[in-house]
Structure 1
Amino acid sequence: MENVRQGPGTGWREATEEALYGPHGFYRRPEGPAGHFRTSVHASALFAGAVAALLCRVDAALGEPAELAFVDMAAGRGELVSRVLQELPETVAARVRAYAVEKADRPEGLDHRIEWRTEPPAGVGGLLFANEWLDNVPLEVVEADADGTARLVLVREDGTESLDAAPLDDELRGWLDAWWPLPAEPGLRAEVGQPRDEAWAAAVRTLERGLAVAVDYAHTRGARPLFGTLTGFRDGRETTPVPDGSCDLTAHVALDACAVTPEARIVSQRAALRALGVAAGRPPLALASEDPAAYVRALTRAGEAAELTARGGLGDFGWLVEPVGLPGGALLVDVADDEEQ
């Protein structure tokens, strides 16, 4: 990362790209993301079951084609795509062509049915699913200086920051004006999500017909965080973001800015999973005496469902749902969000 060590630093976008995806970056480590933070995929097999149920809905909407694509964006070590294949009915699984899209190398022992790629396949029909991908797409950070003028934040490898003296370029300024107007108050920060908008649009365009879903911690234009959300994670704990390859670097996603299709809808993970059959209700106590083992299994399932749908936790994730060449009904676009129920 010599480009970061010299001078006042570089923008967070370039520094993050090297720190996460460079030859010695965080995501090249053998333990993978699961060694440092817990996602919905790692929390419970119920999540993969829900994604499998959604893939079955897409299959039906497509008329049960001879080949059905499941594209797992930012696949990590292939945990989600592997579990989805296990959860699918055999009649559907036999027609699924599974893709894991990831910059890291293919892990040993991965199911032979999974094609490992660095880019999503083009012209396919099916479900493209991006769980916690966009929050790791590098972006620039800006901050209002002492005069209230928005400046690019520069960072060195040790995490030391400074503000660029040059004015923001037109591209950065245009995105901020449209999606994250920054008040002229010293110290306020914004994260310029244009690279994520472009990455998501490119992914959606690979679908000929089907459904694209992006799942992430998110915010919308009416409630942007005043000081941004850039942070780091290491060994399961939140830490100061330092672009030296030692930690994950992540920032919440402006999902409303990412939306591509007119039919796009953002719903909470809580609402989406409920619509896909993930329920957190406690099993009836009578089952404890009738079938104790079944009661324990049901109780465990309820606890896992509660974690996936919890307020203040995984349930607060946003699901950006984008039908491509398909009607939205039964594909979560018409799901009432939990605040509406």
Structure 2
Amino acid sequence: MADLGFEVNDDTALSRSRLPRWLRPLLMLSVPLLLIAGGVWLYIAGQAYEATDNAYVRQDKVSIAPEVGGRVIEVAVRENVRVREGQLLFRIDPDPYRIALRQADAALAKARVEVDGLGAEVSVADVDIAAARDEIAFAKAEFDRQSELLDRGFTTRARYQAAQLALAKTREQMNTATSEARKARVALGSGGAVSDRPATVEAALAAREEAVLNLSRTEVRAPASGVISQTERLQVGAMLPAGLPTLSLVADGHSWIEANFKETQLRKVLPGQKTTVTIDAYGKALSGHVESIGAGTGSEFALLPAQNANGNWVKVTQRVPVRIAIDSKSDRPLIAGLSAEVKIDVRADANADAR
């Protein structure tokens, strides 16, 4: 045991004797110096970039709802199927709307018949006006003759008054015929409409156009090309009210990143700066640039905004949405809602060309 202890101490002494005395303190100081240098480098590098992992892929989404209500009789799509713009998605029972169109056609025909009748009334009124003019002329001549004879004493006052009354009656008939003709012409008028058609016919035509439009709306078609989602609520036989969102369509061709940066990170962030986007699901970096900075923090557009004017106020660092445009093409399709990491290069020299 004594020999073993002597040999160990001797080896230790020999290993120490091989190192120069001036190198020992240098080795002891090198480790903290390297740590300090690494920290300084990380600090300087961090000043050149702003990064966040609170970022997500966004795409245009359309909530599809029927514009007319009714019973679903056909479903032409299923979950996650790709559709083209104008492709049929589902069909609502068109029979009630076909009946409404037939009623509108009948109302239009009735309006035209009424207009023809009003035209005939106008013709009759014009004839009555012409006859009333002739009767007025005759009654006026008779009244003048009786008045002259009365002055000479060759007629009685009764005949004079009868001629006077006949003249008044013919004038009343003239006024009545004129009023009837004016009434019929007003009914035939357009009422200030753009077209010259009678107002009753115009109203019937508008009702028919509405019926045709509602019938066409029983076929719900894709407003854009994309992928259909949330089809579980759409079943054959279901009653759908007008305006109730039934499907969702994620449109093709436009994806961007919504990165929520802390407000303290926006001091050097400007539109046009280069960015690096890494999609968590794929792990591949994509190039992009800052397209715009949000007009308000996320809490400003919340359904129930925070009420800070109270005694329990606590300052919380807010986040501002920054829209990142993707410049490079991804090898795999981007899915709305995927998480991402975004790093913005805020160095002035690196973004000189972008500006």
With the length of structure 1 as denominator, give the TM-score of the two structures.
Answer: 0.19
Looking at secondary structure, tell me which structure has more helix per residue.
Answer: 2
With the length of structure 2 as denominator, give the TM-score of the two structures.
Answer: 0.18
* Structure with bigger RCO (C-alpha 8 Å, 6+ apart): 2
